[in-house]
């Protein structure tokens, strides 16, 4: 592996840790300041796009795909199951997100 690839992989690993940290900060700051939590989600998404990192499905379900706000069930989103799907309804932008339920 050449020097450039090694540096790039190291930066990617640090970015993954930072993304997890941003979501922890968003979770802790949601009760105090929702705008700050949404800002942390925005920063995490930008970092993932910059380093071409795919977000895990559990992380993807924590923010709205339309307005990119941090979602907390019961506070600003509604979660329902319907026809083999989990339906998230964002109460801030009034949009739906649907995720398939995996059958085992």
- Tell me how far apart the alpha carbons of residues 83 and 103 are, in angstroms, rounded to a whole number: 12
Which three-class secondary structure state does DSSP give residue 52?
coil
Query: Between β-strands 85-90 and 77-82, what pairing exists: parallel, antiparallel or unpaired?
Result: antiparallel
For the chain of 104 residues, list the mean pLDDT of each consecutive stretch of 10: 88 96 96 95 97 94 96 95 95 95 81
* Structure confidence at residue 74 (pLDDT): 93
Specify whether the CB–CB gap between 70 and 30 falls below 8 A. Answer: yes
- Which residue in this structure is represented by tokens 């800002």? 39
Specify whether the CB–CB gap between 51 and 15 falls below 8 A. Answer: yes
Please choose, from the candidates 69, 102, 103, the residue with its C-alpha nearest in 3D space to the C-alpha of residue 89: 69
Alpha-helix runs per DSSP H in the chain: 3-29, 34-50, 57-60
Q: pTM of the entire structure?
A: 0.88
Q: What H or E segment, with its residue span, contains residue 80? A: strand 77-82
């Amino acid at each position: 592996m050449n020097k450039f690839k090694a540096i790039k992989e190291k930066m990617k690993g640090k970015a993954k840790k930072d993304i997890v940290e941003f979501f922890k900060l968003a979770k802790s700051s949601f009760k105090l300041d929702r705008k700050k939590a949404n800002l942390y989600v925005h920063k995490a998404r930008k970092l993932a796009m910059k380093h071409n990192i795919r977000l895990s499905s559990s992380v993807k379900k924590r923010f709205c795909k339309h307005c990119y706000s941090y979602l907390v069930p019961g506070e600003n989103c509604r979660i329902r199951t319907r026809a083999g799907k989990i339906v998230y309804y964002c109460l801030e932008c009034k949009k739906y997100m649907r995720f398939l339920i995996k059958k085992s």
